[in-house]
Amino acid sequence: MSEEPEVIVRVEGQVGRLTLNRPQALHALTTTICREMIAALTAWRDDPAVKLVMIDHSGERGFCAGGDIRTLAESGKGDGVAGRGFFFIEYRLNHLLFHYPKTVVSFMDGVVMGGGVGVSRPARFRVGTERTTFAMPETGIGLFPDVGGSWYLARMPDHLGMWLALTGARLKAADCELVGVITDYVESARLPELKAAIVADPAAVETLLTEYEAEPGRPPIAAHQDEIARCFAGDSVEAIVAALQASDSEWAREQAKIILTKSPLSSKIAHRQLVEGARAKSFDEVMAMEYRIAHRLAVSHDFLEGVRAVIVDKDNAPKWSPPSLAAVSAAAVDEAFQSLTSEQEWTPLP
């Protein structure tokens, strides 16, 4: 009996379609998925019969919860080769999509976190629904907001990206539209009809999205936008936490408490990552930087401990090392950003 493919690859009319197909794992990305998506996208890039690419998921459970974290952690307990190999190929896929010459439409219906952001955010058109939940929660498991987070989060207005990176906050569709994560909001019940219409006439995609667009409502985070802009402008995580704690807003003080539950090392790396990302001149530059960080954190104590606490034992009581922001040395943060050997450095697809 043949197993279901992890990603369903086919051409429908003039549309190349990639459907994530691991519903039992919330479509978490694997090395196989990344390789197969790269192979399809590379073939379609120069195929005049394919006019548009569509990325979606099977079933009802959400678009993509991220990378296959358990497998990465198992690798991290050993030599880390498999985990680093996953990040290397995943970032090549992110880069390919970022520079893809044909129109890409992603359907960000349901949970969109971590690696799911990396395969949907580069699309020209990004469709959210009432079921969309976006987050970059990596600092809570000892990682960092990667897959291009250095580029996308750093370019959100009013330091909203820094807030998302340090707190792992979850956004629904209206907020996703506010910060530019989605470009269009469509009710989930209408997605099959919309997808069929795009397959029938890919050249009309922009008109179709306008026809199907609904109103997501007021973005809740807009009420806190000024406060985020003020408090998250700090030049260090400690400065941000201090500003939040000094606020007369209960919401702001709660954000400080949330940050202090995350990996202190990851939090400081994420802050530096977004500062560097804002200065970066190209997406290639940030992907190389992110791979240097991933190469090191993939085998780190905090990643293995974060996975244990959040995903394996689910006690949500990680014992971070170092245990506090004050205990994280500048040298430890610097080390994460250091160049690798020429053989280890990340490179885009040739």
Helices (H), the chain: 31-45, 69-77, 81-98, 115-120, 149-152, 160-167, 173-179, 191-200, 205-212, 225-231, 237-246, 250-259, 264-279, 283-297, 301-307, 330-337
For residue 140, indicate whether it is catalytic: no
For residue 114, indicate whether it is catalytic: no
Contact assessment for residue 265 and residue 322, using Cβ atoms and an 8 Å cutoff:
yes
Q: Cα(200)–Cα(270) distance, rounded to whole angstroms?
A: 43
- Catalytic member of 146, 158, 302, 305: 146
Q: Which amino acid is at 222?
A: A
Q: Got the DSSP string for 33-78?
A: HHHHHHHHHHHHHT-TT--EEEEEESSSS-SB--B-HHHHHHHHHT
Residue with tokens 């408490």: 257
For residue 67, indicate whether it is catalytic: yes
- Catalytic member of 114, 115, 128, 168: 115
Q: Cα(7)–Cα(30) distance, rounded to whole angstroms?
A: 10
Q: Cα(177)–Cα(126) distance, rounded to whole angstroms?
A: 10
Q: Cα(35)–Cα(85) distance, rounded to whole angstroms?
A: 11
Tokens coding 285 = 């530059």
- Catalytic member of 6, 109, 138, 175: 138
Nearest to 113 by CA among 61, 71, 174: 61
- Catalytic member of 16, 62, 66, 67: 67
User: Would you put residue 85 in left (φ > 0), alpha (ψ -120 to 50) or beta?
Assistant: alpha
For residue 146, indicate whether it is catalytic: yes
Q: Which residues are catalytic?
A: 67, 115, 138, 146
